[in-house]
Amino acid sequence: MPDATLPNPSFSREVPGLQLAFDSVSLGALKKCPRFYQLNIIEGWAPKGEQADLFFGIVYHGALERYDHARTNGASHDDALRTAVRWAMIETWDAELKRPKLVEHNYKNRFTLVRTIVWYCDKFQDDPIKTIILANGKPAIELSYRLELDYRCHLSNEAFLHCGHLDKLGTFQDKTVIVDRKTTKHTLDERYYEQFSPDNQMSGYTFAGKIVYNTPIRGIIIDAAQVAVTFSRFDRRLIERTPSMLDEWHRDLGFWLTAAQQFARAQYWPMNDRACFGCTYRGICGKPPEVREQWLKVNFVRRVWNPLETRGDI
Amino acid sequence: MTDTPLTEASINSLDELFRRDPLEMSDKDWNVVIDEMRKKSALWAKIDAEGKRKAPKAKPMETPVAVSTSDFD
């Protein structure tokens, strides 16, 4: 590992390289390939283009969150939309350099972001999915959770956590659903939705949602937005998991956590060289080990992926 | 910002609004942004509907015909 590994609060202080608080991104990275996990999560190397993609998604989510909050507080559709758009435009403005951010990408840029927000809110202003109001009176929007698992680290007896962030908890046809918003440049066809079953994130959210919110969950509604150069399109699909599928996911999770401990104990994360198709680090892993770090420094940026960071601070 | 006919004309461009500091934008500016996006939505809906109307219907699969190699002599 490089000398200057960025500190990450989701990792054990007793066992170097052992993550205790996982979310779907970090758990998914581990499942894909331990070496990918080491580069992406432990060492924090992110491809330079990832920042723009992530930023687009974060602002899109934040704008719709503000729209939802405003409507829950009694604002009209138009007033709530103006609030959302204004917030998004401010977030994507560089006040120091006095110029817009998020301008380079052909598909996901400031203009397509605002267009997608306006078109989405107009389309769903009378949303059939009703936002649940929690016991504290707040709408169930942008809910961060940390679920202590019934798995513990063999080496230090520390508990493992499953963390997540639900965009919305709502009711649809009298059943409770989790809503997960996604943006993509791809067509919203069967092939797009196939990726969600099986899927680590969908299973994890359904598993955790039932426990954390103590309510049966019908499933997860993928609330997808296709963002193209000249248009935005929207579609929704229900993704379900049976109790037996969730039990299986939970059982598998135990094996993956055991593997994470083995890798940390050995301080070695092996490459899964059958998972390289389309991998961000193919250009790195395809080079001799002794030169990889130089290439990482040229083509990637360092960032900390911390599942313990909560969102939803409105 | 005081509304004058000259000011109103200068804020009609969506491109200009996207280059402007959002903290200096008025409610009227925001309405222009949203209205322009809605116009694009209506235009796109027309184009999309027209595209679907003109899309050729899928042909039934034809029975493949074996080609003799003598065809390529």
Provide the pLDDT for residue B54: 75
Interface of B with A (CB under 8 A): 18-19, 21-23, 25, 27, 30-31, 33-34, 37-38, 40-41, 44, 48
The predicted-structure confidence for A241-251, as pLDDT tens digits, reads as follows: 999 999 999 99
- How do residues B23-52 score in pLDDT, each as one tens digit? 999 999 999 999 999 999 999 999 999 887
pLDDT of residue A214: 87
3-state DSSP helix/strand/coil percent for chain B, to nearest 5? 65, 0, 35
**pLDDT tens digits, A275-306:** 999 999 999 999 999 999 999 999 999 999 99
**Which site among A92, A101, A119 would you substitute to test the B interface, given the most B Cβ atoms closer than 10 Å to its Cβ?**
A119
Mean pLDDT rounded to a whole number for chain A: 93
To the nearest whole percent, how much of chain A has pLDDT over 90?
87
User: Using N-to-C axis directions, what is the helix angle for A77-91 and A50-72, rounded to 10°?
Assistant: 150
Q: Do A93 and B34 touch (CB under 8 A)?
A: no
Confidence of residue B65 (pLDDT cuts 50, 70, 90): low
Residue type, A288: P
Rounded Cα–Cα distance for residues A214 and A170 (Å): 14
What's the confidence (pLDDT) of residue A235? Answer: 97
The pLDDT of residue B66 is: 55
Average pLDDT over residues A253-282: 97
Structure confidence at residue A137 (pLDDT): 86
Q: Please state the separation of Cα A217 from the chain's center in Å.
A: 19
Judging contacts by C-beta atoms under 8 Å, the chain A residues touching residue B21 are 93, 95, 98
CB contact under 8 A, B44 and A230: yes
CA–CA gap between residue A118 and residue A80 (Å, rounded): 11
pLDDT, chain B, mean: 74
- Is pLDDT larger for residue A70 or for residue A52? A70
Residue A53 confidence (pLDDT) above 90 = no
Which of chain A's residues have a Cβ under 8 Å away from the Cβ of B41?
118-119, 122
* A76 vs B: CB within 8 A: no
Give the pLDDT of residue B12.
Answer: 55
Q: Report the alpha-carbon distance of residue A27 to residue A204 in Å, rounded.
A: 10
Give residue A104's pLDDT. Answer: 78
**What DSSP line would sit under chain A, residue for residue?**
--TTPPP-TTB-SSSTT-B-EE-HHHHHHHHH-HHHHIIIIIS-EEETTHHHHHHHHHHHHHHHHHHHHHHHTT--HHHHHHHHHHHHHHHTEETTTTEESS-S-SSSSHHHHHHHHHHHHHHTTT-SSEEPBPTTS-BSEEEEEEEEEEEE-TTT-PEEEEEEEEEEEEEETTEEEEEEEEEESS--SHHHHHTTSS-HHHHHHHHHHHHHTTS---EEEEEEEEE-SS-EEEEEEEE---HHHHHHHHHHHHHHHHHHHHHHHHT-----TTS-TT-TTHHHHTS-HHHHHHHHHHHEEE----TT------
Tell me how far apart the alpha carbons of residues A105 and A73 are, in angstroms, rounded to a whole number: 35
How far is Cα A90 from Cα B20, in angstroms, rounded to an integer? 10
Of B27, B34, B44, the CB nearest to A81: B34
ipTM of model = 0.84
The DSSP bridge partners found for residue A148 are A161
Per-residue pLDDT tens over the stretch A190-221 = 999 999 999 999 999 999 999 988 889 999 99
A230 touches chain B (CB under 8 A): yes
A122: distance to nearest CA of chain B, Å?
9
Point out the residue among B18, B33, B38 whose CB comes nearest to the CB of A122: B38
Residues of B in contact with A97 (CB under 8 A): none
CA gap A110, A125 in Å, rounded? 22
- Inter-chain contact B22–A86, Cβ cutoff 8 Å? yes
Q: Do B37 and A119 make contact, defined as CB atoms within 8 angstroms?
A: yes
pLDDT at A132 over 90: yes
pLDDT at A127: 95
pLDDT of residue A105: 81
pTM of this structure: 0.85
